[in-house]
Structure 1
Amino acid sequence: MKENQAKKFCRCIKSVKKTVKVRRGSTTEGAAIAICTKSMLQRKGRTLKRIKCAKPNGPKLNTQKLK
């Protein structure tokens, strides 16, 4: 996926993680990833395959088509 999209996705995760209310048995990061995937990727007919928001090499986002 494009670098721009990866940066936007990582920014979305950071901002949503601060405001999300977590259910029992899940994490704030997992819930934030689910919300951002639903709002950003599934609108375009894509779904998440792999995400990496680490600083040294920059963000990487791999997606695949919805089944």
Structure 2
Amino acid sequence: MSEGLHLTFLPPYSPKLQPAERLWILVDEPIANQFFETIHHLEDVLFHRCQFLLQQLDLISGLTGFHWWLQTGA
């Protein structure tokens, strides 16, 4: 390991430390409790949902931009 690096191990489930965990509620919104005839239909729905979410940067930042991230590094 390079000098000056420190590894910090996270618990197996730590959504407060893993911002991506907070995005699942947005991603699975159009597929929850739905039946898809084919995997291709599911892929299509998820693709369009991701395309939509790419345009919602404020929403994504609000869910994943923890205040303490801005205080680290520098």
Same fold, judged at TM 0.5 (above): no
Between structures 1 and 2, the one with greater strand share: 1
User: What TM-score do you get using the length of structure 1 for normalisation?
Assistant: 0.32
Highest CA radius of gyration, 1 or 2?
A: 2
